[in-house]
Amino acid sequence: MTSSEPSEAGFRAEVRLVDGGEVAIGRYALPAAAQLGPLVDQWLSPEEASVLGRLRSPVAARAWLGGRVAIKQALVWCGRVDVADAHRVSIRSRTSGGKRDRPTAWLDATPLEASLSLTHDEQMAIAAIGAGSATVGVDTVRIADATASVEAAWFTPAEKRLCSGRRTRRAIVWAVKEAAYKAIQRGEPFRPLRLEASLEAHGHWRCACDTGERMPVDVWRPGPGRVAALARARPADAAAPRPRETLLAAGDR
Ligand SMILES: CC(C)(COP(=O)(O)OP(=O)(O)OC[C@H]1O[C@@H](n2cnc3c(N)ncnc32)[C@H](O)[C@@H]1OP(=O)(O)O)[C@@H](O)C(=O)NCCC(=O)NCCS
């Protein structure tokens, strides 16, 4: 991990189409360390401020804070939360047993109905919000972190052939697998060899799981030196995606 500040601080949002469903994406590049304090007051609930206070590593704390701000700004942008209520919203990503889990949003004691996903490091956080019964998964990987040893240990033979030593390709494959896991997991740990990324015609990425699930994955570059992937898993019995107006109701765009 590097400790350099991001070049462009601030929040950007967009809508991406994956598998016919719209997903709101918020990208948040953290400001300089000296400006982090006001973010806590504006965006964190008391519960979250207490969690942040217990994080020992400044790098982990910065990443964690960036994730909460990104996901809440995205909820505001979608019209799901009023900006004035951001400090009443808690983003929880632990099971009652303390295991890491997909994030959920709560307004005081009331859960917000939305599929959420989050990825962050100490410089940038990306939040995804899906509509309907589909679940979303988002992941970002720094290209420098996509080493040959990651490929050797965690890629299937077909993925190794797809990468053939190219680091950016490796980063994409890793991001695709993690995004797909976040979208489809049902409490099981991340087992990278059970997921296989593939590149289809026209440059479209897909991910298949050994359970038989298969999903399209959107891949892009959210900033210099990194790649991001967004997976959307639609259960067989999923309702049709909600129309754009429902997902993107009036809000602070
Ligand atoms: C979830 C996982 C797949 C990816 O996490 P990660 O890459 O460490 O971290 P990211 O920043 O991308 O994502 C973290 C967020 O994902 C969410 N998350 C955590 N567990 C999750 C799960 N089981 N399902 C869905 N989302 C989950 C949380 O919101 C978490 O942020 P938070 O703790 O601040 O709430 C993780 O289980 C994992 O095992 N990763 C392997 C990491 C690795 O080996 N990297 C090699 C470097 S190339």
Instruction: State the Cα–Cα distance between residues 244 and 34, nearest whole angstrom.
Output: 38
Q: Measuring CA to CA, which residue among 108, 128, 110, 109 is closest to residue 118?
A: 128
Q: Does the CB atom of residue 80 touch ligand 1 within 6 A?
A: no
Question: What is the gyration radius of the CA atoms in the chain, in angstroms?
Answer: 18
The span from the CA of 236 to the CA of 116, in Å, is: 19
What's the 56 CA to ligand 1 centre distance in angstroms?
19
CA distance linking residue 5 with residue 7, whole number of Å: 6
Q: Which residue has the tokens 């918020």?
A: 26
Work out the number of other CB atoms within 10 angstroms of the CB of residue 61.
17
The alpha carbon of 175 and the centre of ligand 1 are apart by a number of angstroms equal to: 11
Q: Are 203 and 104 in contact (CB under 8 A)?
A: no
Ligand 1 mean position to 119 CA, how many Å? 7
pLDDT in tens, the chain (253 residues): 333 445 578 999 999 988 888 899 999 999 888 788 899 999 999 999 999 999 999 999 999 999 999 999 999 999 999 999 999 999 999 998 999 999 999 999 999 999 999 999 988 999 999 988 889 999 999 999 999 999 999 999 999 999 999 999 999 999 999 999 999 999 999 999 999 999 998 899 999 999 999 999 999 999 999 999 999 998 753 334 444 443 443 333 3
Rounded to an integer, what distance in angstroms lies between the CA atom of residue 188 and that of residue 83?
Answer: 35
- Amino acid code (one letter) for 219: V
CA-closest residue to ligand 1 atom 2: 178
For residue 229, the cross-strand partners are 139, 219
Looking at residue 1, what is its pLDDT? 33
Domains along the chain with CATH numbers: 10-131 (3.90.470.20), 140-233 (3.90.470.20)
Residue 153 Cβ < 6 Å to ligand 1: no
Q: Which pLDDT value is given to residue 65?
A: 95
Q: What is the pLDDT of residue 32?
A: 87
Query: Which residue CA neighbors atom 13 of ligand 1 most closely?
Result: 119
Helix axis angle for 46-54 and 58-77, nearest 10°, is 160
What confidence score (pLDDT) does residue 7 get?
Answer: 56
Whole-model pTM: value is: 0.90
Quote the distance between the C-alpha of residue 67 and its chain's center: 9
Task: Assess contact for 111 and 105: CB atoms under 8 A.
Answer: yes
